[in-house]
Structure 1
C-alpha cells in the first residue's frame, strides 16, 4: 500500500468525525495573507498562497474569473479561474479542482453533495496515467482510457475495492457511478478489469444476501459459466460463492470438476482471506453440485440456477462429498 493510499484509508476512517466538526463551522474570511488584484479580481489568504504555489497565471488555472466568494453553505471560501477553482475551509485547507474531476464533483452537488470539500490537490496514481482527488466523503478517480470519465468511490464498495488493491488491484478503475440493481436490491458500481461489478446490499432475503453484505460479480462469461458472484456478509469472515453455469456447464462439469472450477474463477477474483480448510470445503461443495446436477425440466436443474457454496461448511473430504449414498442426506449442504 502506498503512503497516498494509506492516507485515503485514514481519511475514510475519520470522515464522520470530520463531517460533524465541519458542520459547526461558519467561515468569515480565509487566513491571513494580503489580497492581490490579479487579472482584475481579488485573490487572498490561503487561496492566494495555493495559487502562487502553483505558479499563478502560469498554472493550469490561469487568470481568476471572480473575487473571493463564500460557499452557499457558509463553511468555506472559493475563487473561480479560467481553468478551474480553488476551495478553502479552515479544516481542509485550500485545494484546486479542475477538469473531469471538477465536472463530476459539480454534477454531484459541489461542496453540498455527498463528497463535501476537497481535502487534497489532484494526485497522480501509481500507474502514472490516472488521477484522483480526495474529498471529505470519498475519492474521485479518472483515467484517460480505462475509467469512462471521472467517478467517485466511497462507503462499503470503496472499502472492499481498497482491500483488493484499489485501481492497481484485481478490479481496476471505476467505470461508473453507483447505481441501483433492482433484481438484487443492491447498490452496484462497475469497474474496468474484466467488466467486474462491486456491490453493497442491506439484505432482502429474496435474492442474494439475507443480511447486509458486500461483494462482487463477473459476467464476462465462458462456455461453462455465465456469472460468478461472491457475497461477503458484513462484519463476518464468511464468504458465499454463487456460480451460474450455462447448459453446457451443467452437463460438462459432471466429469471435469477442476476445469469447471477454473472457468468459474476466470470470471472473478478468488476471495481474500479464505483459509486452506475453507478452500477445500468450497471445492468439495462445488464438485458435489457439479456431479449431481440433474435437469428436471428443460432449463430447470435440481441445483437451481447456480451452484451455491458457503465457506463456513466443514471440510468433509471428497469421498463423503461425492458419495451417491450420502448425497441423499447432505444434498451438497452439510454442516
Structure 2
C-alpha cells in the first residue's frame, strides 16, 4: 500500500463503521482502470460547485455513494445566501449532518460570572500598569532623584488626589498639554502638576516619600523643558559664556539659541527662569541679531523678527557691537525683558531643539 492510501484507508474503514457496514466488506482502495488491485493514491477532490458529487470512497464502495445538491467548494464557509444543503433520502449518512441555518443560539465564549469579570478587569489593569512602566522606561518620564522627599508649592497647574503611584502621575501629566513636570506626594496620595521644570531642590519643602518626574516626549531629550502647548523644547545652560561660545555649544548639539516669537513664549520663559533660584541669577543670550543691518532684527535662519519684549529704554541701537539679544534681569520690575547687548559679555544661554 502506498503512503497516500495508507493514510486514507483507516478513514474509509471508520466511515464504513459509522454507516453500519462491516469493515470486512470494505474493498481495498483501487483506481477504476487497475484490474490488478494495486492501491493508488486518491486523486484530490475537484473544486467548484456540482449538482452531484461523489465522495472519495464511492469509487470503490458504491453502496456508500451519496448525492448532494448545492455542495460548496472545498474550504468555502457557508454564508447567508448560499443554497441549502440537501442529502438524498435513504442514503446512509457517512458524514455528520450539516445545518447551514441553525436556530440554536451560539454559546458565550466565556463565563460571564462576577468572578470571571473581576479576573478580566484585574488582567486589564495589570496590562495598563505594565504598559505605563514601559512608557516611562522608554523616556516618557524621568525621575529626578535630587528632589526625593522634596516638593514645590509654586507654578502649580492642578492636583489630582487618590493616586497611588508615580507612574500614574506621569500618565496623567501626559494628558495635560501644559504639564512639564509632576510631583507624586505619596503620603497625600497626590499628583501635583507643574508647567515648569524645577532646578533647585533647596527651594522646596521637605516631605517624606515624595518623588519628582520631568516629562519627556517625542524628540525632546532628558534635562530639557518640553512645553507641548507651545511646541517648544529647550534647555537652560547655567554657565556664563560669551555669545559666540554659547552659540557654538548650541550648534554642536544640532540646536540654536532659543527663538521667542510670541508673548506666550516670553511669559513661559520668564516663568521657567524665575521658578528656581539657580536659574534666575543672571541674564540669558537668546536668538536674534541686527549685526547685518542696525535696527533690523532677524532670527538665526534669516526670518525677520516681529515680536519684541524690550526693557524700558531699549533697544539702544548702538552702532558698535551691541547687536545681540539678551533676556535681562537688570530691571527688577521688568525682569527678563530684552536688551541689545555686546556679544563679548558673559551670560547664561538657552539652546532650543527643533521638533
Could you state the TM-score of these two structures normalised by the residue count of structure 1?
0.24
Higher relative contact order (CA 8 A, sep 6+): 2
More strand by share: 1
